[in-house]
Amino acid sequence: MKKALYLLIFMTALSYQAQAQVTEIDPTEDNIPGKSEKQDREKRSSGDSKWVFGGGLGASFGQFTNAMLAPMVGYRVTPKFTPGIGFNYQYVRLKEPPGFNFFLDYTLNTIGPSAFMQYDLFYGVFLHSEFATQWYNLEYTESPFFTASGNEQALFLGGGYRFGGSGGGGGLQIIALYNVLYKDSNFVYWRPWNIRFALMF
């Protein structure tokens, strides 16, 4: 009987000790049961950045040289809505071989900012609007040695598809846009439709 009683007391003490180890509070860390789990969840949530970065980059060389740099940064206001800003620089040069005069040789430099908005619809499909302004300097490098400079604006409306991401997340984008401010006299935005590839992450 005494052995059974001793065994019962020992098991009770062991159970109490195990329970105390699970719920023990470390006063040096100001722990509260359940607080650490909540902090972990908040840390994981705050670690998911809402900023997205990307843009386009391209270059071709030869008789027709075209170098373009277009970085962009956006902020996911909601999982579906991402506004942002961008910067565009482009250098174009046409220099035909001697004896070819299909076009006048020229150089064109453009630079300027842009602002855009994207709204995700479903399965990687999104709407895209963008306002851009570009300062340009055009120079013909052969007779009649004409030069021109100025500023042009474009308002692009359209949409695209994102490969490998959704909700403003990272991925390769293909975008088709129409410039509603297009004019035949444009130097920079010389065609109404704009097809581009961009990377956002």
pLDDT of residue 113: 96
20 vs 15, 28, 30, 124, CA distance in Å? Answer: 9, 17, 17, 51
Instruction: Please tell me whether the overall predicted TM-score, pTM, comes out greater than 0.75 for this model.
Output: no
pLDDT of residue 65: 81
- Tell me which of 2.30.30, 2.40.160, 1.10.1060, 2.60.40 is the CATH number of domain 51-200: 2.40.160
pLDDT of residue 84: 95
Tell me the two tokens of residue 175: 């975008």
Residue 14 dihedral angles phi and psi, to the nearest 5°:
-65, -40
Name the residue type at position 182.
Answer: Y
- Work out the angle at residue 64's Cα, subtended by the Cα atoms of residues 58 and 65, and round it to the nearest 5 degrees: 40
pLDDT of residue 159: 95
pLDDT of residue 59: 75
Dist CA 17 CA 22 (whole Å)? 9
pLDDT of residue 169: 54
Tell me the two tokens of residue 98: 């001697």
Tell me the two tokens of residue 106: 């020229």
pLDDT of residue 82: 93
What residue ranges do the domains of the chain occupy?
Answer: 2-44, 51-200
Question: What length does the chain have?
Answer: 201
pLDDT of residue 21: 40
Q: Which residue has the tokens 């695209």?
A: 160
Cα dihedral sign, 76-194-159-200:
negative
Dist CA 115 CA 102 (whole Å)? 37
Nearest to 152 by CA among 114, 118, 103: 114
pLDDT of residue 120: 93
**Chunked mean pLDDT (size 10), the chain, 201 residues:** 43 41 44 49 55 84 80 92 94 73 77 95 93 90 80 94 67 92 86 88 81
pLDDT of residue 141: 77
CA dihedral 161, 164, 168, 169 (to 10 degrees): -170
